[in-house]
Amino acid sequence: MKKNIFPEPLKKGAKIAIISPAGAVDPSQLEKGIEMIKNKGFEPVLGEHLYSRFSNGYTYAGTEKERIKDINWALNDKEISAIWASRGGYGCQHLIQHLKLKNFEENPKWYIGYSDNTVIQSYLLKKGFVSIHGQTIKTSSFGVTDESYDLIFDTLRGKTLKYNLESHQLNKKGTIEGELVGGNLALIYALLGSRYSFDFKDKILFIEDIGENFYALDRMIMSLELAGVFNKIRGLIVGGMTNMGDEKENKNYEESFDEFAYKLISERISKYKFPVVFGFPNGHIKDNRPLLIGGIAHIKIGTKVKIEF
């Protein structure tokens, strides 16, 4: 089994670049995260256009050129040891054709983010590099647990990720090992058919999402089926499905694992034999524990769920 490249563990004082590759952020939204990086013994380095704003049907963190400039700086600056996205939103697809990895390939570094950052992580995996699908610097309205951040810092320092979780009633039991791919379902769906799409053959797929109507969720799952994804993967992990369904409904963000969304997914994949984990704590949820995109996951699904990278 091919092993992808893990960046070197970060040493005390290492520089972590903070960039905004997609949606705009205000300084007040990043204050706690930046202070946390300092308190953990690292040096945050702010991208030139971290707080820029450009409106074009959506409020981006700067123009495409500005965001491309920031991400290529962070990827290739030899003094930077890790890159942490300020937030997701929309806009990473604008950057993907313009990414440069010349110095990055000589000095790989962790890329940390989720949501729209799935696009960047798919690109890095195509080049053979592992990244962290975990909480961004900006905390959302539903908050973030301390453990969610602590586990990211543990990973940056070189510690192995291990999880021992309760089993969900919709789980399909089994033991599997394979490379983890995926992230936000809408972006996995958006990349299908492009040269930037994940390679699903013999992989374990992770999906999570937020704010999708149930018919849109079903459409995306159907697209994966029509693309043959479920015939290729070894297993599936389903994370947070938050604020799903009718947009007019009064949704509670604490309902992170929407049971009707899970039911829809379970029904669509019922004919497939691969093991499935429902309710993994990763996604647009408060308890957003990191996963390694491109890492080799060892998973045992029984009365408990054990996952180790």
Residues recognised as catalytic: 115, 208, 284
Cβ-proximal residues to 226 (8 Å cutoff; 6+ apart), any chain: none
Is there a contact between 200 and 232 (Cβ–Cβ < 8 Å)? yes
Cβ-proximal residues to 25 (8 Å cutoff; 6+ apart), any chain: 50, 51, 61, 86, 87, 138
The CA distance from 180 to 297, in Å, is 6
Is there a contact between 178 and 204 (Cβ–Cβ < 8 Å)? yes
The CA distance from 132 to 264, in Å, is 28
160-164's contacts with Cβ under 8 Å and 24+ in sequence apart are 160/308, 160/309, 161/290, 161/291, 161/292, 161/295, 161/307, 161/308, 161/309, 162/306, 162/307, 162/308, 162/309, 163/280, 163/289, 163/305, 163/306, 163/307, 163/308, 164/304, 164/305, 164/306
Is there a contact between 38 and 68 (Cβ–Cβ < 8 Å)? no
Write out the DSSP string of 13-37.
Answer: T-EEEEE-SSB---HHHHHHHHHHH
Residue whose C-alpha is closest to residue 30's, from 9, 10, 47: 47
Q: What angle do CA 11, 71, 120 make, to 5 degrees?
A: 90
Residue whose C-alpha is closest to residue 118's, from 222, 9, 220: 220
